[in-house]
Amino acid sequence: MRKPLVSNYSGVAYFYARAKPLFIITAGLVGTGKTTVAQALAERLGFATISSDVTRKRLAGIPPTEHRFEGFHSDIYSSDFSAKTYKKMLDEASEFLSQGQSVILDASFGRKEDRLQALKLAEALGANFIVLECVLDEETIKKRLEQRLARETTSDGRWEIYEIQKQTFEPINEFLPQQHLILDTSQPVDKIVELIWSKL
């Protein structure tokens, strides 16, 4: 779990003075830049962030940067373990939101059921809710995933996972237009953050 940071950007005080906290979830296929967007936005707005990659490995009792390359639906990536991971993230988000602190969940949220659980939590705690769906062309995704494997990272994402996830990702069509923002992450991250800022 990432603690909120103090930001020097103008307007941040507005968010801390909101009557309602803001609950943001990312969504999208592996390699589309969800973590980059979540971290950049959190640094700008001083929000807390909760990573599915970090949460999953903490629950498994393994170091965050230790890679697990089992199949997409096995071991720590089994349906049961993924459900456990999302539940833990929502429980942690609930703690922040209950204290009036805005929070971002950095995860794929490929299942409609998980996204609706997040919305349900926001409604129960009186938080504003938004989904940031990250999209990117396949050529760039493949290049990013290859580069990622050469670095120390918490993510186990790779091209074969992307191809499976593409077949199982449930389209996002369950939210109001103002709750769903689609982001082309081929743009510089600063530009993406400015776009999100303008929408908020």
pLDDT digits (tens, 9 = 90+) for 89-126: 999 999 999 999 999 999 999 999 999 999 999 999 99
pLDDT digits (tens, 9 = 90+) for 136-167: 999 999 998 888 776 656 566 667 888 888 99
Q: What pLDDT was estimated at residue 4?
A: 42
pTM above 0.75, yes or no: yes
Average pLDDT over residues 17-43: 91
Res 86 pLDDT > 80: yes
Work out the pLDDT band at 10, boundaries 50, 70, 90: very low
**Which residue did the predictor score with more confidence, 92 or 57?**
92
Its CATH architecture, for the domain 21-199, is: 3-Layer(aba) Sandwich (3.40)
pLDDT of residue 77: 74
pLDDT at residue number 78: 81
pLDDT tens profile 60-74:
888 766 655 555 555
Arithmetic mean of pLDDT over the chain: 85
Q: Which residue has the tokens 């001083």?
A: 46
CB 131 within 8 A of CB 109: yes
pLDDT at 47 over 50: yes
Of all residues in the chain, what percent carry a pLDDT higher than 70? 78
Task: Note the pLDDT of residue 2.
Answer: 46
First to last CA, the chain: 23
Residue 3 pLDDT class (50, 70, 90 cuts): very low
More confident site: 10 or 170: 170
pLDDT value, residue 148: 74
Instruction: Decide which of 68 and 86 is more confident.
Output: 86
Please give the Cα distance from 38 to 196 (Å, whole number). Answer: 11
* pLDDT, position 57: 86
